[in-house]
């Protein structure tokens, strides 16, 4: 147990971190283009925030949260998603006093007790975006375009964007009645989760993953039939903007997403080559959430993107770029006779911004040269006993195998010039 990570967690090893950095860098650069700024929230919050924000009838709250009681008898929960936390911060820090919109993004770990599967862990990482303070479909379109641009920039081409309107408190009651009327005769043959949701939140019946219940849901009354004029105009406006931007999309009236706070726009981006677990991004509008957790009535929209799932997609398609992990200089000190000098020169070179390694173990010159090759060193600096006695060191260009003697006092200036010319 002491040498095994908990089920559903995964170490991100040094050989994998470069891919994560590439992914994060791409996301940060595109967020900057769109004017979104980073926010970092705590990894745990008061449980009540998620009960009220996400909804007590959701799978996340009912089955998946990591909740504990601290020493002060307070109920706390590791964040299962970050929209509620970002909104809590927005209210607590009175960001609503700033000119709208408030445009935020985040990158960080989330926690859900779920069955581990490809690209999904119990501790997983999400990139997400939130835009607060703007009504109308314009900001919805921008959010969706941002998500699509990130995925396309990473090289993913077989993307399917699904959109829907899940209505608002004005038009949902009629749809709720129609759903219950449709599903009531079939309730006995549906899964236990759906039977539980029937009275509490019948819209979630459309989100069931049970194959039999999915077949039933395919014939359920569409929310489109019940939308109020405001929601219809909003959804039509969104489609007009996406079309104007040249973005292909599919209207899926059974797309409801899994969280209770969504209103009007809901969307999902799927990447078909991933198979059954093809969703790489999902989000929507949540105009009542900020008011629900105690803030002023403020519209909002956002999305989240599972980073493990996105990495799985780009790795499966060989879309990761080549990462140069070579070092600039390896300092060879045969037999450790001149180790103090080797240490001093390595530190001086690092202070000039060079990537430098040296031998800690007193190995032979042959072994140290092998290590320099393994690290893909551009240059090797050899502090041999005879050369040092003459006040010199040997500089070897590993690409050309050329060797020259250089004065010890000029090591830093010469190597800095050589490395810069090598780049």
User: Is 78 in a helix, a strand, or coil?
Assistant: strand
Kindly report the length of the chain: 423
β-pairing, 102-111 with 123-132? antiparallel
Give the C-alpha separation, 421 to 423, whole Å.
Answer: 6
What is the rounded average pLDDT for all residues in the chain? 91
Per-residue model confidence (pLDDT) at position 260 = 62
Per-residue confidence band for 119, with pLDDT thresholds at 50, 70 and 90: confident
The whole-angstrom separation of Cα 253 and Cα 154 is: 29
Q: How far is CA 83 from the centre of its chain?
A: 13
Q: Which pTM value belongs to this model?
A: 0.88
Are 267 and 303 spatial neighbours (Cβ–Cβ below 8 Å)?
Answer: yes
pLDDT reported for residue 259? 59
Cα–Cα distance, 230 to 136 (Å, whole number): 10
First to last CA, the chain: 47
The full DSSP string for 164-195 is: EE---TTTHHHHHHHHHHHHGGGGGGS-HHHH
Contact 150, 30 (CB under 8 A): yes
What mean pLDDT comes out for the span 36-57? 88
pLDDT above 90 for 103: yes
Residue 57: pLDDT above 60? no
Residues 135-177: pLDDT tens digits?
999 999 999 999 999 999 999 988 999 999 988 888 888 888 8
Cα 191-194-172 angle, rounded to 5 deg:
160
Q: How far apart are CA 108 and CA 182, in angstroms?
A: 41
Dihedral of CA 76/81/82/87: which sign?
negative
More confident residue, 210 or 18: 18
More confident residue, 205 or 7: 7
Q: What is the pLDDT of residue 282?
A: 94
pLDDT at position 197 over 60: yes
Q: How many CB atoms lie within 10 A of CB 134?
A: 18
- Look-up of token digits 């975006």: 129
Report residue 72: phi and psi, to 5°. Answer: -95, 15
pLDDT of residue 213: 83
* The pLDDT of residue 21 is above 90: yes
73: left (phi over 0), alpha (psi -120 to 50) or beta: left
- Please give the Cα distance from 276 to 314 (Å, whole number): 17
Q: Which of 126, 107, 80, 112 is CA-nearest to residue 8?
A: 112
The band of 81, judged by pLDDT with boundaries at 50, 70 and 90, is very high
Residue 58, pLDDT > 70, answer no
């Amino acid at each position: 147990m002491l040498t095994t990570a908990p089920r559903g967690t995964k170490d991100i090893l040094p050989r994998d971190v470069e891919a994560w950095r590439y992914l994060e860098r791409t996301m940060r650069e595109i967020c900057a283009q769109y004017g979104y700024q980073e926010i970092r929230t705590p990894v745990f919050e008061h449980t009540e925030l998620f009960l009220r924000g996400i909804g007590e009838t959701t799978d996340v709250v009912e089955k998946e949260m990591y909740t504990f009681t601290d020493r002060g008898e307070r109920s706390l929960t590791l964040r299962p998603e970050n929209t509620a936390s970002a909104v809590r911060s927005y209210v607590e820090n009175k960001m609503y006093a700033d000119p709208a919109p408030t445009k935020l993004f985040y990158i960080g770990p989330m926690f859900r007790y779920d069955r581990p599967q490809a690209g999904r862990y119990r501790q997983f990482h999400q990139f997400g975006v939130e835009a607060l303070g703007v009504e109308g479909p314009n900001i919805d379109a921008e959010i969706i375009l941002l998500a699509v641009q990130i995925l396309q920039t990473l090289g993913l081409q077989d993307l399917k964007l699904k959109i829907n309107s899940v209505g608002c408190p004005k038009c949902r009651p009629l749809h709720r009645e129609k759903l219950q009327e449709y599903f009531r005769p079939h309730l006995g043959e549906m899964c236990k989760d759906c039977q539980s949701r029937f009275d509490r939140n019948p819209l979630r019946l459309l989100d069931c993953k049970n194959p039999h219940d999915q077949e039933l849901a395919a014939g359920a009354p569409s929310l489109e039939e019940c939308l109020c004029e405001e929601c219809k105009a909003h959804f039509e406006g969104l489609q007009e903007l996406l079309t104007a931007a040249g973005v292909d999309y599919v209207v899926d009236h059974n797309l409801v997403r899994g969280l209770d706070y969504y209103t009007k726009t809901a969307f999902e981006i799927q990447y078909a080559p991933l198979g059954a677990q093809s969703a790489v991004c999902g989000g929507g509008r949540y105009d009542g959430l900020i008011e629900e957790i105690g803030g002023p009535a403020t519209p909002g929209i956002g999305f989240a993107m599972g980073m493990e799932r996105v990495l799985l997609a780009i790795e499966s398609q060989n879309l990761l770029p080549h990462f140069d992990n070579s070092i600039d200089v390896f300092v060879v000190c045969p037999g450790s006779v001149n180790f103090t000098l080797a240490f001093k020169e390595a530190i001086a070179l690092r202070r000039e911004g060079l990537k430098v390694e040296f031998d800690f173990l007193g190995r032979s010159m042959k072994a140290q040269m092998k290590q320099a090759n393994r690290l893909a060193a551009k240059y090797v600096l050899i502090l041999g006993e005879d050369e040092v006695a003459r006040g010199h060191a040997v500089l070897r260009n590993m690409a050309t195998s050329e060797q020259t003697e250089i004065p010890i006092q000029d090591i830093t200036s010469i190597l800095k010039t050589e490395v810069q010319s090598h780049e």
